[in-house]
Amino acid sequence: MNALLGNPMVTTAAPPFLLGMVMALLARFALPPPVLSLVSAALLLFFYWDTLGPPVVPPVAASQKLIYLAFAGIVMGLLPDRLLGASLASKLVAAALAAALLWLGWRRLAGGSFDLQMIAALVAGLLAIVGAAMLLSLKASPSPPVEEPFLVPAAVLALCLAGAIISVLGASIVTGQLLGSLAALVGGWCLVQYIAVLRGGTAIAWNKGTELLLTFAAATVLIQVALLAPKANPVALMLSPLPLAVAALVPGLLRGLVPGARPLRPLVAGLLIAMTAILAILTAMLFAPHGAALGFS
């Protein structure tokens, strides 16, 4: 038991998972949406600070820029709900992710090293931008189907989980921990919401601000992994942001694949969204340069 509790994977995932559950319970019973955005922002900053250390002024390395990007995402996410509609959120996240890709990658871009990993990083970055823009452009339905509140959390969860494993196997432990923490937080949220659905209730949806700041945070860390993890699998990297776009297609193109049975709809939608992430994880594990053992050497 002590060994289990001392395992870095458990200590990375367990507290955020519990916090995600608490956040979901509070959202069900107490937290109005703007306060939920604030809580998400505070938790996000805590994870960044805990994993990457305090902000460095001025930031030099890409990893030092991540916390500043999180701040930027939080500022956008805390815009009042009446201002932050689907259209503005979609444009904001696309523009901010494009800027983040350039800022995080400028040393590599300036170096002109367009090797396979750099090409994969650019493709992954572009897919993250397009996927995030598509996802945040979704508008809340007047009478939402049961799976709708799960679409964005499931996409962020799948992206973070794939990114975390690709990162650790690709020799970037810290970003793996950060994405693992985010995945656990969102996983805790999804579990509580799904239990509510099983009990005949409805899941609480994230407001646009929370969607924006968590999607932006997950995508920027994934871009950092793609740009800098020296052994990250290029194919896995390109597959990992796809859950964002797939989630955006669930209410439209993929609607026919979601079954009629109420308790199954969030599960099947989640599975569809996670499919490309599962492929990414399998690819990363099968072609891991040092084997698929997660851990530090």
Partner 1 sequence: MTTNNGESYVTMRNLTAALAFASVCAFASAAYADNYEIDGQHAWVTFTIKHGIYGTAHGQFDAVKGAIVMDKADPSKSSVKAELDVGSVHTAYDQRDSDLKGPDFFNAAEFPAISFESTKVEKVSDITGKVTGNLTISGVSKEITLDVTLVNEAPAPWDATLTKAAFTATGKVSTADFPMAKAAAGFGLGPDVDIVIDLEAVKK
Residues lying near partner 1 in the complex (CB under 8 A): 51-53, 56, 60-64, 107-108, 111, 170-175, 224, 227-231, 289-290, 296-297
Q: Which is nearer to partner 1, 38 or 109 (CB)?
A: 109
Instruction: Work out how close the CB of 180 gets to partner 1 at its nearest, in angstroms, rounded to a whole number.
Output: 13
Instruction: Work out how close the CB of 65 gets to partner 1 at its nearest, in angstroms, rounded to a whole number.
Output: 11
Q: Please enumerate in sequence order all residues whose Cβ is within 8 A of that of 48, keeping only pairs 6 or more positions apart, or say none.
A: 66, 67, 70, 178
Q: Which is nearer to partner 1, 113 or 202 (CB)?
A: 113
Q: Whole-angstrom Cα distance, residue 232 to residue 243?
A: 18
- Find the angle CA(173)-CA(178)-CA(179) to the nearest 5 degrees: 100
Q: Whole-angstrom Cα distance, residue 198 to residue 264?
A: 9
Instruction: Work out how close the CB of 1 gets to partner 1 at its nearest, in angstroms, rounded to a whole number.
Output: 21
Q: Whole-angstrom Cα distance, residue 193 to residue 146?
A: 11
Instruction: Work out how close the CB of 231 gets to partner 1 at its nearest, in angstroms, rounded to a whole number.
Output: 5
Instruction: Work out how close the CB of 53 gets to partner 1 at its nearest, in angstroms, rounded to a whole number.
Output: 4
Instruction: Work out how close the CB of 227 gets to partner 1 at its nearest, in angstroms, rounded to a whole number.
Output: 7
Q: Which is nearer to partner 1, 49 or 99 (CB)?
A: 49
Q: Which is nearer to partner 1, 210 or 224 (CB)?
A: 224
Which backbone phi and psi does 291 adopt, to 5 degrees? 90, 165
Residue 125, CA distances (Å) to 164, 165, 294 in order: 16, 18, 25
Q: Which is nearer to partner 1, 85 or 111 (CB)?
A: 111
Tokens of 25: 């319970």
Tokens of 238: 């390109």
Q: Which is nearer to partner 1, 29 or 296 (CB)?
A: 296
Q: Which is nearer to partner 1, 82 or 290 (CB)?
A: 290
Instruction: Work out how close the CB of 181 gets to partner 1 at its nearest, in angstroms, rounded to a whole number.
Output: 13
Q: Whole-angstrom Cα distance, residue 262 to residue 200?
A: 9
Tokens of 81: 């709900």
| Single-letter residue type at 144 | P
The helix (H) or strand (E) run that includes residue 174 is: helix 173-198
Q: Please enumerate in sequence order all residues whose Cβ is within 8 A of that of 149, keeping only pairs 6 or more positions apart, or say none.
A: 193, 202, 203, 204, 205, 206
The helix (H) or strand (E) run that includes residue 283 is: helix 264-286
User: Rounded to an integer, what is the distance from CA 240 to the centroid of its chain?
Assistant: 10
Instruction: Work out how close the CB of 114 gets to partner 1 at its nearest, in angstroms, rounded to a whole number.
Output: 13
Task: HSE, CB side, 13 Å, CA atoms: give it for residue 230.
Answer: 2
Q: Which is nearer to partner 1, 52 or 274 (CB)?
A: 52
